[in-house]
């Protein structure tokens, strides 16, 4: 994956990311995104990539804190990743190295689950 400058808006960087996702994981059909990704990106994902880009957004009349549907999945996954000390600090200078650390962290998490450990635990066996 190529590095992008911080001045690039997330929704502008999302198009090449979705194309890469499609090439690497052809079986994915549904992608959830924040409300900021609505608009032409949704149409492009549907027409060119055959992906359903579903945006999760708040209603305009809502005030205060509201739990958004499916948003907790992202927050929960980020929380699991932050249990890896190396990801909790921003040590990596190359995006490819950071990506490798994310893959390593998820591999540890999933292998622990397959081994019968409780979700989110890296080193303790289930009681």
pLDDT of residue 49: 93
* pTM across the whole model: 0.61
pLDDT at 84 over 60: yes
DSSP assigned state of 123? S
Tokens of 98: 């950071």
Portion of the chain with pLDDT greater than 90, in percent: 21
pLDDT per position as a tens digit, 93-124: 888 888 898 899 999 888 988 998 765 555 54
Token pair for residue 115? 């081994």
User: Residue ranges per domain, the chain?
Assistant: 7-57, 66-127
Rounded CA-CA distance 50/70 in Å is 21
């Amino acid at each position: 994956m190529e590095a992008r400058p911080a001045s690039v808006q997330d929704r502008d960087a999302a198009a090449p990311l979705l194309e890469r996702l499609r090439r690497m994981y052809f079986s994915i059909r549904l992608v959830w995104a924040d409300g900021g990704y609505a608009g032409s990106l949704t149409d492009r994902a549907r027409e060119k990539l055959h992906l359903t880009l579903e945006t999760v957004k708040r209603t305009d009349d809502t005030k205060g804190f509201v739990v958004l549907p499916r948003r907790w999945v992202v927050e929960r996954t980020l929380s699991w990743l932050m249990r890896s000390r190396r990801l909790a600090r921003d040590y990596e200078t190359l995006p490819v190295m950071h990506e490798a650390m994310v893959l390593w962290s998820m591999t540890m998490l999933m292998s622990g689950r397959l081994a019968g450990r409780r979700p989110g635990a890296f080193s303790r066996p289930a009681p």
